[in-house]
Amino acid sequence: MAILITGGAGFIGSHAAVEFLNAGYDIVVVDNYCNSSPISLERVKKITGKDFPYYEVDLCDKAALEAVFVKHPEIDSAIHFAGLKAVGESVEKPGLYYSNNLLSTLNLVELMSKYDAKKIVFSSSATVYGVPKTVPISEDFPLSTTNPYGETKLMIERILKDIWVSDHEWSVSILRYFNPIGAHKSGMIGENPRGIPNNLLPYVAKVASGKLPYLSVFGNDYDTKDGTGVRDYIHVVDLAKAHVKALERAMAVKGVDYFNIGTGTGYSVLEIVKAYEKATGLTVNYKIVDRRPGDVATCYADPKKAYEVLGWRAENNIEDMCVDLANWMKQNPNGYEEE
């Protein structure tokens, strides 16, 4: 048996590849590198001391993806990370997001069905909860979205459910991630945002290392502890480990299930600034600016179900997340680009 990891060169996929290899599984990786580099996969080999095949394949190219299934009849499951993920870009280019994220998933599940590999773990997002009325958020909260990116996540969740309804041989595990940050403890793999980062932690790290002048804090008039937005930050290695647990459950039980993957604790933007400064001894200059359109005040998970059903819970705290991110940034000031 082997696990197909789509989008495995990306931020979360590369960390998941490490965890699956460390857990003794064989993997096959496909990625078109539209937001990543194969260097991350070479680093995964160095970290684990294990070899595995990887292919430059666009999942929207069904023939190219099918060639991978033909070459690797041992594939019996998939962890599906491949997709475009920038919320703002999805508002500007909805067609690109709908076609890339949906077509790639439809091709993948059609081939998984054809080659009898009917176990999938899918990367969904807390964005499917829209503007939650209360926190913590549990899996049975109402679903809605506020942008095309979120819409693709919700549509894919529904597609996967319908596939299971039509064929009960499927095992579908939908993981709704909160805010993944941090990096592998080795400092060899991490997040590699192209250009100016959209997300808080990569931005904070660039300000601290002097590559950007200051952080714009998007609003300090929310109804939160200090007025700034509150989120549930989760270490990417903890998140990666949740995929191993989810696949192991999918191997044992058929059906569709949904899990929040977060810590259950919310941190404000200013708390994150302080935590990063404390963990690194660096200074993070910031200015308060207007709210960012579309942001919610507070978002954090009730992660109880993942613990009760999968036996998974986050182990790293916010300091670990900041230290590991800073270590990755220090070792790779230009991401993977220097090699």
**Shortest Cβ contact with ligand NAD: which residue?**
10
Site string for ligand NAD, 13-52 (x = CB under 6 A): x-----------------xxxxxx----------------
Across the strands, what pairs with 275? Answer: none
- What are the tokens at 286? 């910031």
Distance CA 112, CA 78 (A): 8
Whether the Cβ atoms of residue 14 and residue 190 lie closer than 8 Å to each other: no
**Shortest Cβ contact with ligand UFG: which residue?**
229
Of the residues 25, 54, 97, 149, only one is catalytic, namely 149
The tally of CA atoms less than 13 A away on the side-chain side of residue 312 is 25
User: Is residue 314 classed exposed, middle or buried when 0-12, 13-18 and 19+ CB atoms within 10 A define those classes?
Assistant: buried
Residue 141 binds: one of ligand NAD, ligand UFG, none (C-beta under 5 to 8 A by kind) = none
Q: Which residues bind ligand UFG (CB under 6 A)?
A: 85, 87, 125-127, 150, 179, 198-200, 203, 215-218, 229, 231, 269, 292, 295
CB of residue 47 to ligand NAD, shortest distance in Å: 17
Whether the Cβ atoms of residue 25 and residue 65 lie closer than 8 Å to each other: no
Closest CB to ligand NAD among residues 31, 324? 31
Whether the Cβ atoms of residue 181 and residue 232 lie closer than 8 Å to each other: no
The tally of CA atoms less than 13 A away on the side-chain side of residue 289 is 9
Residue 217 binds: one of ligand UFG, ligand NAD, none (C-beta under 5 to 8 A by kind) = ligand UFG
Closest CB to ligand NAD among residues 70, 288? 70
Residue 186 binds: one of ligand NAD, ligand UFG, none (C-beta under 5 to 8 A by kind) = none
Residue 9, interface with ligand NAD (CB under 6 A)?
A: yes
Site string for ligand NAD, 166-205 (x = CB under 6 A): -----------x-xx-------------------------
Residue 97, interface with ligand NAD (CB under 6 A)?
A: no
Residue 242 binds: one of ligand UFG, ligand NAD, none (C-beta under 5 to 8 A by kind) = none
Closest CB to ligand UFG among residues 77, 123? 123
Residue 219, interface with ligand NAD (CB under 6 A)?
A: no
Distance CA 310, CA 250 (A): 10
**Straight-line distance from the first to the last Cα atom of the chain, in angstroms, rounded to the nearest whole number:** 33
Residue 231 binds: one of ligand UFG, ligand NAD, none (C-beta under 5 to 8 A by kind) = ligand UFG
- What are the tokens at 229? 């937005």
| Interacting residues of 78 by C-beta distance below 8 A, sequence separation 6+ | 3, 4, 5, 6, 108, 112, 117, 119, 120, 121
**Contact set for ligand NAD, span 108-127 (CB under 6 A):** 123, 125
Amino acid identity, position 270? L
Count Cβ neighbours within 10 Å for each residue of 8-25 and write b for 16 or more, e otherwise.
bbbbbbbbbbbbbbeeeb
Whether the Cβ atoms of residue 237 and residue 325 lie closer than 8 Å to each other: no
* Catalytic residue list contains 276: no
Residue 21 binds: one of ligand UFG, ligand NAD, none (C-beta under 5 to 8 A by kind) = none
**Contact set for ligand NAD, span 265-324 (CB under 6 A):** none
Catalytic residues: 149
The residue ranges that bind ligand NAD (CB under 6 A) are 7, 9-13, 31-36, 58-60, 81-85, 100, 104, 123, 125, 177, 179-180
